Structure 1
Amino acid sequence: MSSEKAVDDVDAGLNAILKKTQDKSWTTLLPDELQLLLASFLPSHHVAIRSKSYVVLSAFCQHIRQNSPQPKPAAAEGSDPSTEAIVNVYGPSLISKLGDTVELEVLSGLTFFAALFQTDWPSAAAILLQDGVVNILEDIPDLFTSNPSPPVFLALAHLLAQAAGHKSCRTVISPQAVSWLEGKARQKDDDTLKAAAAVALIKFNKGSSADAASNPLSAASSNPPTGNAGGGDEDLVTLMKGLVLDASAPSPSSPIQDAVEGLAYMSADPNFKELLCSDEKFLSRLFAIIPRRKNLWSESSGDMGMTPLYGTVLIITNLCAYRPRLTEEETQIAKLRRLAKASGGTDSAKASNVTEENKFDNNEHVLTRGRKLIEAGVMDALTSAVKATESRAVRLAVGRALLSLIEDNSSRGKILQSGGAKALITIIQGILTSARSAADSSKSKTIPQLETADLEPIQALAKLAITASPVQVFGPDAGTLYDAIRPFSLMLTHPSATLLQQFEATMALTNLSSTSPEASEKIARSDGLLNRVELLMLEDHTLARRAAVELVCNLIVGSDDVFEKYGGSSGESAKRKLQVLVALCDVDDLPTRRAASGAVATIAASPTACQHLLDLQKERSRVLPILGQLIDPSIVPPSDEGESGVEDVHGDEDTTQMPTEPGLVHRGVMCIRNLFFGIKEDKEGSRLLAKEAEKLGIVKALARTFREHSSDRNSPVLRPAAEALKCMMESGITIQM
């Protein structure tokens, strides 16, 4: 009962501190509260207590930062008042515990120190950099030697691992501390300590290498990091793999947590990606770490630290990640950096190492690794991870992994069959819910804004929606399909979305718009969507422009509102939108011409739109030549020189600039037919158009089209061609068949 009462007392004390952090006027901890929090991260406490302790510590640090004065612009670097305030609260008591000779006191100091790094690293770093603190840590291994592997050693290794993750702290980690870590990573008596020491070495080595790469002048004059650098990293990876293969089920006391964290760091190295992916037994055991249902372990640390669940998903994400798509400018900069690194080396090994790393991270190798992961059962692991936790970090990592795996077209069917689309939908629903909650709490009337990382799972779902039928992706429920419209629209209009993301969102929305008029209406009413699509219609990139025109074409057919905006209503706005569509009927890209001409043919069913087309023809003399060229490519639009340019067009000559395409012929005939029917009541306008059509050779093209299809009574071109010719005859044109 006494132990249960002690747990209850700690829990009650933590709750009291947490409640105080909600009071803006509260400033500091009482001595008893401070001692309670310092000791609340001891490994002897239940995992639920330690989890709550993270929340309380984080809430306290946030409270201090929110209520501290902002640093002045001219303040010296490192003089942040909020950091100083946190250091003043914890620093003296923490340093006192670290310098104690009682094992329990030192252990509570080390575990709290590591937790502070995870919740507010600037204040933890500031304490570590104080005079004498590093020396105190260096002395700890000598104070507790009676036990070959005391809990203090594990806590010290975890603390050094946290410190090694920050550049300012790496500079004060001494060779003595690194040597101690190396010894503990080699010992065979305690796997948990071995894993923790190895993680610290990995973070130290990787961080030191990154520091040297970012500052080559400093690196040239300094000593290289001691420890298992270079080939020793492979030994560390082998050690981590072995711990994953041999470890039992994940628990707070098992070495698998540190092993997974270490592999999460090392799996970012292209060379080690190949090493890990080539071991099917390891992959199987790695995937088994992810729980198939929610449990305390998967949620216990939240996003404070790297749980085995998050670490495992991060490893998967690293293994299947493609190199970022670079712009032309970024590509040139990267090339210059590689040349600088190669020329800065003392031997050719550096240059060959860069080349080797690039080789293992090229698209072919990534594609192969992705297929190996799918064959090994990665989809079951990823979908289970989404079910096992609501952690934002875990779910975004799953979305990033699925985005990479979906890049392979041949794998998309397996991903759909394994529930990949459902997992992405669940992730996206969580993202939108969080965005709405954030918008509601800020009482903002603007649209909830997503973060750039939120776009990746949406992009992954868009890729599936482009290449598979909506039923395969979203199921038979129309509501699920309608729910997908919002995230696709948000990605399309997001200010940080890449052109590729905008293109894929547009393509996905195009497919959804083809399912029903209701879907088209919902898409058309999305905030800001039409404005962005209209900008993409003017994009230089052919595929992006094509996708935008195809979406507009579908919306014109399915949405009354869009139909009105593009010519169904009077006014200059509709007229100019229609002018853009007519111009797009004259671009080089065949699918774009098909979509644009189909849209014009549909809009021309409106007499108002036909009046707009007549006005545009009178203004620029471009509408008829462009529409006529759809039927007969030898009809060349006139130049902008001269009043009309009609006389300069040689419609009788066989100067075809591009082959006749049946789809364009059909659309061109429908455009001409609908145009003449729409202005039938305007006798003067009809006669004007008919004469210009005759001069351009459109009448002859229509007659020729009619003759070519007269033997096929079911031809979709036959009747509209005949009706267009009849309109010409009614306007005084003689038809020679």
Structure 2
Amino acid sequence: MSQPSMTTEIHGVLDALIRRCSSQNKPSEVSISSEELSCLRNAFLPSQSPHTRAKSFVALSAFCQAVRNSKQPSAEPVAEHLAKVFSSNVQDGLADTKEDDVLSSISFLVALFQVDASSASIIFREDGVITSLMDAIDICPSDNVALEVAHTFSQACGHKTCREALPTDAVQWLRTIASQTKNSALRAAAAVALVKLSRGALSDSDSSKIVETQIDSKEQMDLVDIMKGMTISGNDLSVLSDAIEGLVYMSAEPAVKEILSQDPSFWKQFFSYIPKRKINDPPTSIPSSIIYGIVTVALNVCAYKPRVTEEETQMLKLRKLANAGKMTEAQDNPLDDDSHVRARCKLLVEVGLVGALSAIVKVTDSQGVRTGIGCTILYLVEEKENRGKVLQEGGAKALSVIIRTRMTEARKDKARNAKHLALDPPDLQAIQALAKLAITSAPFQVFGPGEAVLYDAIRPLTQLVLHPSANLLQRFEGMMALTNLSSANAEVASRIAAADGLLNKVELFLLEEHKLVRRAAMELICNLLAGSDDLFKRYSESSSKLHVLVALSDVSDVPTRLAASGGLAQLTASPVACVKLLALQKERHRLLQIFVQLISPTSDSNGEQGTDQARRGLVHRGVVCVRNFLTSLGGETIKDLSSEIVAAQLPKALVTVAQEYRNTNNAPVLVPAAEALKLLLDCGVEVSV
């Protein structure tokens, strides 16, 4: 078998393979020669340069993809076909006695797991492969071979079928290697394999395998200390990658989350591996797996338990009963309750996590990494106290970059769905995090100076309300953020009101049973009425929309009443709207009573939210509504309505307000109240003082 040994020969063969697979005109003829297989296998040797190994990954991936593209539906499954192509090459190398041949075969299998795990799993489970791997440790007793075997087991332990095939002696070997202290790289690789094996076995159906591979709490903490130590020392990138991979798996454990969160020196060193280059600088030499690992560990430590509905809670109980006989990890660990998560998030904010995540956004285009960053920041801003620090350290800017990139990509795919951008549900997490920041801070603090950035924020926040996969909390926070954004200026409000499909959705939420969602919808509409002439006109001319606002001015929730009556106070400035309201009064005979309930000092019986400030707000809106309404009606109509006006006790309510506020110099209340009283007196309506 020809085995090119020179680097130039290897690169030449790899380049030719990549070109052929990338420009394959006849997919059915995809093939690879024995020389190319041998060359590809040798290219993965640990002694090869990073550049050569990187190119070999590209070549292997290109070939596997070309095979996938060439397979017909009736043909042999791709994984089985690839396994047949590579199996003999791997097995021949393992059967050799030369260390380089053994090492190249094992390294190739490790790489194949990363490129096409399905075919690698098939080869791993073939007769004699695991035995050959264990024999290789004795036949070629070198650290290099042992390290690659450990890496192979580590990759295999990520897959259920391979875990089930792993014999007891292999597990024991991993335990022995993980406990030695002479070779840190070997120790890290074995530790990662054990962690994957233990955590994976918990989800497997074979309970005997769980017992066999389970790591006790002391062993787990020892492994955590090993990983932390290797991460802090960081002398070797390959060791660092293994250590961080181990922490990725172990940081899903509540006890490990607590330990990591309380070690600021660990995080400072952890963050030091993030490249400091600018976007246009040459690519970093730090492996992407390290960047991914940093984000994933932070995400795990900061993660809140999923919020579940009552129905989902019942389903979880049933699932627990069904799994009662299995050794599964307790799901209600107190270290994962909200108070512990809040404390961990606060600690990580203090050690500079937001700045680290912002730096990562600048150095990677990986959608997976950026999605993880968006989710992590979402957890951090769950607590309002963290939001100021998140803004200071560039969290909003990082979120904006993530969102803008995804929106651009989604816009290209919009042809698949005419109504909604092709955003995936995880994309909404970054938007939700930005919405939380926009709810509690001024728009310019979140989005920056200038109107253009405010306009850019409208589209993603609108998607948070409209997206089919958005949950009720996301829709609620999207509306809240848009309400705050609309307060920036009239043009922003007009653009929000004109967003395709938004108002129809928001108006549906006015009928929502959930009090806070209904309130958010009403507050958004109230703000938009103040800035959008088109929306103002639409509401002024619609009896049904005015009827909804009148009804919501009479609900028990004071903030909703404030928003609805605020909208009415604006709309009653329109004669057209007042004609519609007059018709409503004649039909239902409730409008004047609702106005009185707004302005009467005794009308606010809601002790939960009925603060003095809220009551004054209702009075102000009520007297403006009455003044505008009466002014628009004119004298003759007021005289016709006089009996209903008196029956509703409107004059008495206005007099009471005037008396209560006469010594306060509160012109916004006193002036419209006085003007309304004068209109009644001029029309001969009896007013009792």
> Is contact 2:11–2:52 with CA below 8 Å preserved after alignment?
no
> Is contact 1:267–1:315 with CA below 8 Å preserved after alignment?
yes
Counterpart residue identity of residue 308, structure 2: L
Structure 1 residues 48 and 529: CA distance shift in structure 2, 3 A: farther
> Is contact 2:600–2:657 with CA below 8 Å preserved after alignment?
no
1:256 to 225, 237, 240: 240
Question: In the alignment, what sits opposite 2:585?
Answer: 617
> Is contact 1:64–1:82 with CA below 8 Å preserved after alignment?
yes
| Map 1:172-571 → 2, pairs under 5 A | 172-211=165-204, 215=205, 218-219=206-207, 224-226=211-213, 228-248=215-235, 251=237, 254-293=238-277, 307-334=289-316, 354=330, 358-439=333-414, 445-567=418-540, 569=541
| Map 1:51-62 → 2, pairs under 5 A | 51-62=54-65
> Is contact 2:413–2:422 with CA below 8 Å preserved after alignment?
no
Aligned mates of 1:7, 1:28 — CA distance in 2: 18
Structure 1 residues 704 and 230: CA distance shift in structure 2, 3 A: closer
Question: In the alignment, what sits opposite 2:86?
Answer: 90
**1:9 equivalenced with 2:2 (yes/no):** no
C-alpha deviation, 1:588, in angstroms: 0.9
Structure 1 residues 36 and 22: CA distance shift in structure 2, 3 A: farther
**1:694 equivalenced with 2:676 (yes/no):** no
Aligned mates of 1:694, 1:277 — CA distance in 2: 67
Aligned mates of 1:564, 1:316 — CA distance in 2: 50
SS in structure 2 of the partner of residue 605 of structure 1: coil
> Is contact 1:10–1:40 with CA below 8 Å preserved after alignment?
no
After superposition, what is the alpha-carbon deviation per residue over 1:345-386, rounded to whole angstroms, capped at 9, x for unaligned?
89xxx9xx848x712112222222222223323233222212
**1:587 equivalenced with 2:555 (yes/no):** yes
After superposition, what is the alpha-carbon deviation per residue over 1:263-319, rounded to whole angstroms, capped at 9, x for unaligned?
1110110011122223232222222222222687857765xxxx1111112111111
Question: In the alignment, what sits opposite 1:168?
Answer: 161
C-alpha deviation, 1:690, in angstroms: 3.6
| Map 1:151-166 → 2, pairs under 5 A | 151-166=144-159
After superposition, what is the alpha-carbon deviation per residue over 1:627-646, rounded to whole angstroms, capped at 9, x for unaligned?
2211127679xxxxxxxxxx
Aligned mates of 2:39, 2:577 — CA distance in 1: 76
Question: In the alignment, what sits opposite 1:630?
Answer: 598
SS in structure 2 of the partner of residue 255 of structure 1: helix
Structure 1 residues 222 and 310: CA distance shift in structure 2, 3 A: closer
Q: TM-score of the superposition, structure 2-length normalised?
A: 0.90
C-alpha deviation, 1:687, in angstroms: 4.2
Counterpart residue identity of residue 469, structure 1: A
Question: In the alignment, what sits opposite 2:661?
Answer: 709
Question: In the alignment, what sits opposite 2:106?
Answer: 110
Aligned mates of 2:87, 2:135 — CA distance in 1: 19
Aligned mates of 1:587, 1:529 — CA distance in 2: 24
**1:101 equivalenced with 2:90 (yes/no):** no
Counterpart residue identity of residue 676, structure 1: L
1:679 to 610, 615, 633: 633
Structure 1 residues 35 and 626: CA distance shift in structure 2, 3 A: farther
**Identical amino acids, percent of aligned pairs:** 44
After superposition, what is the alpha-carbon deviation per residue over 1:705-733, rounded to whole angstroms, capped at 9, x for unaligned?
23433455552122222333344345552
Unaligned runs of 5+ in 1: 72-78, 637-656
Unaligned runs of 5+ in 2: none
Counterpart residue identity of residue 380, structure 2: L
Structure 1 residues 92 and 417: CA distance shift in structure 2, 3 A: same
After superposition, what is the alpha-carbon deviation per residue over 1:362-420, rounded to whole angstroms, capped at 9, x for unaligned?
22222222222233232332222122222222222222222222222222222222122
Counterpart residue identity of residue 514, structure 2: H
SS in structure 1 of the partner of residue 357 of structure 2: helix
Aligned mates of 1:230, 1:714 — CA distance in 2: 67
C-alpha deviation, 1:244, in angstroms: 1.4
Aligned mates of 2:357, 2:99 — CA distance in 1: 41
How many pairs align? 677
> Is contact 1:676–1:686 with CA below 8 Å preserved after alignment?
yes
Moved more, 20-29 or 369-378: 20-29
Q: TM-score of the superposition, structure 1-length normalised?
A: 0.84
> Is contact 1:40–1:50 with CA below 8 Å preserved after alignment?
yes
> Is contact 1:299–1:391 with CA below 8 Å preserved after alignment?
no
C-alpha deviation, 1:447, in angstroms: 3.5
SS in structure 1 of the partner of residue 268 of structure 2: helix
Question: In the alignment, what sits opposite 2:675?
Answer: 723
SS in structure 1 of the partner of residue 182 of structure 2: coil
Aligned mates of 2:416, 2:258 — CA distance in 1: 49
Counterpart residue identity of residue 555, structure 2: V
Question: In the alignment, what sits opposite 1:639?
Answer: none
> Is contact 1:14–1:53 with CA below 8 Å preserved after alignment?
no
Aligned mates of 2:685, 2:76 — CA distance in 1: 85
Question: In the alignment, what sits opposite 2:32?
Answer: 29
Aligned mates of 1:332, 1:187 — CA distance in 2: 47
> Is contact 2:358–2:395 with CA below 8 Å preserved after alignment?
yes
> Is contact 1:463–1:508 with CA below 8 Å preserved after alignment?
yes
> Is contact 1:399–1:456 with CA below 8 Å preserved after alignment?
yes
Structure 1 residues 48 and 476: CA distance shift in structure 2, 3 A: same
C-alpha deviation, 1:499, in angstroms: 1.6
Structure 1 residues 223 and 430: CA distance shift in structure 2, 3 A: closer
Moved more, 20-29 or 550-559: 20-29
Question: In the alignment, what sits opposite 1:601?
Answer: 569
SS in structure 1 of the partner of residue 333 of structure 2: helix
> Is contact 2:425–2:469 with CA below 8 Å preserved after alignment?
yes
Moved more, 115-124 or 261-270: 115-124
Structure 1 residues 144 and 667: CA distance shift in structure 2, 3 A: same
> Is contact 2:465–2:479 with CA below 8 Å preserved after alignment?
yes
CA RMSD of aligned residues (A): 3.0
